[in-house]
Structure 1
């Protein structure tokens, strides 16, 4: 996984390499669509790690932040992928909001865009009853990712 500057100054872009395996595909040899969501979720986590954000377990112990649960997802599929393909998931934050952020993912094979998605996520803690509660986006984390 590598980090590269994004064309928009508000976010970094990270790249997660993916090797498509036979088991990622349906009987027709095409990547089963939920795998794209799985790869975007993995790239979301790796984005924060690569930007220097401590792992969620450490953040929970130090600040009560349990991670960034997914609130909404939109995905657009443009081309299929198959086993043997080498893909990259390009991930950045498209928009920071008060308690949520929009993360953008572009899955490519070489110069070909196969899939793009956006996710709305929130930094969360647990209240006294154990229920998840969105908290304001921590400024230090936002700075690390910008």
Structure 2
């Protein structure tokens, strides 16, 4: 069974455009926060610690696909359900469902990597750390 972690968001006035609906980039900001919250809930240490122990500085996004189904507005209580849909060699697919009650507002899948930093400052994709995968399954 796939682990699902929920992250709560309250839509604020400033999250909305002049029409009173959530400006779409805010959904991506919230699912990025839900991504990190997923790892915290699974017991993965903060990135500052994994940088020292595993050489993993974080999980940058390399691809995203989203479908917006319904709008949200000021005062709405949203729930973002996050799971890992697929583990790959050096990347993984994280799945999000943004809900208001039982209503699906947005569905999104992102491909992310566990990134490390070379001595020259450039980033590279680590093989999926077995310790992190074990915590998240």
Fold equivalence (TM over 0.5): yes
Aligned mates of 1:20, 1:126 — CA distance in 2: 35
Aligned mates of 2:33, 2:22 — CA distance in 1: 16
2:5 maps to which residue? 14
Q: Which runs of 5+ in 1 are unaligned?
A: 1-8
1:120 maps to which residue? 111
**1:5-42 C-alpha deviation (Å, 9 max, x unpaired):** xxxx2x31100011000000000100000000001000
Aligned length: 137
1:49 maps to which residue? 40
**1:80-118 C-alpha deviation (Å, 9 max, x unpaired):** 000010000000000000000000000000000000101
1:132 maps to which residue? 123
Q: TM-score, normalised by structure 1?
A: 0.92
2:135 maps to which residue? 144
1:107 maps to which residue? 98
- Cα-Cα RMSD: 0.7
Q: TM-score, normalised by structure 2?
A: 0.98
- Say which of 67, 74, 77 aligns to 2:58: 67
> Moved runs in structure 1, 4+ residues, more than 3 A?
none
Aligned mates of 1:140, 1:58 — CA distance in 2: 14
